[in-house]
Copies of this chain bind each other. A is one copy, B any other.
Amino acid sequence: MPTKLTDVAKLAKVSPTTVSRVINNYGYLSQKTIDKVHAAMAELNYQPNNLARSLQGKKAQMIGLIFPSVSNPFFGELIERLEKKLFDKGYKSILCDSNREPEKEKAYLGMLAANQVDGIIAGGHNTELQEYEKMSAPVISFDRLLSTHIPIISSDNFAGGQIATNTLINLGAKRIGIITGSNETNSPTLLRLNGYLDALQKNGLDPFVFQIKSTTSNSLKKIEIARILREEHLDGLFCTDDLTAISVMNEAQNQNIKIPQDLKLIGYDGTELIQKYFPQLTTIIQPIDEIASLLAELITLRIEDPSAPLEMRYTLPVKLLQSNSI
């Protein structure tokens, strides 16, 4: 059982009201009394109860982080930085791994509302959730349109698709494919696809679009990648995430397709993991640290002032990390 305020009072031989006064620093108190209570608190390792203070109208200082999968390196790195930045601002992070399950995301929203969480940062992929419209806590979205009044932070996915494709075109590639995940309306990968299509059209080249949904099993994904490499005779390939690009590299090696001589390859995300352990991959880098900073800044701004005037969309620039796969 956690130590209670009454335990402190007993040990310090004062009334519970006196302990409460010491904690909240009000009313008349002698230095002797203050010292006695502090000594008892230290001895019992007593921490003033944030829950109680929250109910007295003070903040619980908690922010819910709803993301599809913390084991995905991109989200892992984003969540790690978010947690650190929120900690520095005095907030704790409740982790909600929505795991692409709308029911779980709904359950979390319900729990978050019930706990009077101060705010929510949502990067979930279950976009049809009406619950977001009703949330009373401030919400900031990463990459997804959740509701008409929830600001969205994202990197420039359209420009990222253009940069990757133009790079392949400038290197002389003619049959340039794209492997993309979700093509849902307003999804970040759809914007990357649109950037790809735009760049090809401006250069009079034909698109080769392959969609492998994120819910596809790993073995089926491998089979489809093997088929694309074997049958489509591409000389350039843009993958809308780095992990898919790595699967392409592995399969290209199996088929004796040389990267970059036979096939020029560009990925997307540019996590630290990729930069450290797949340094050979050329990729589009999302500014993970800046995204985390801006998400943390805007959510705390909205918590402190629910009517703070915010833009509806914040778009951060991406850049090409040039390496040996092109």
Contact = CB atoms under 8 A, between A and B. Distances in A.
Give the interface residue-count category, chain A: 35 or more
Interface in A45-59: 45, 47-52, 54-55
Contacts of A131: 45
B111 A84 contact: no
B93 A136 contact: no
A93 B271 CA distance: 25
Given A246-B277, A277-B243, A50 B111 contact: yes
A209 interface: no
A114 B5 CA distance: 11
Interface stretch (A65-73, A168-176, A258-266): A65-73
A198 to B, nearest CB: 30
A95 B116 contact: no
Interface in A68-108: 69-73, 76-77, 79-80, 83-84, 87, 92-97, 99, 104, 107-108
A48 B114 contact: yes
A104 to B, nearest CB: 7
B113 A84 contact: no
Interface of A: 1-3, 45, 47-52, 54-55, 60, 62, 65, 69-73, 76-77, 79-80, 83-84, 87, 92-97, 99, 104, 107-108, 110-111, 113-116, 131, 134-137, 218, 243, 246-247, 250, 271-273, 276-277, 279-280, 306
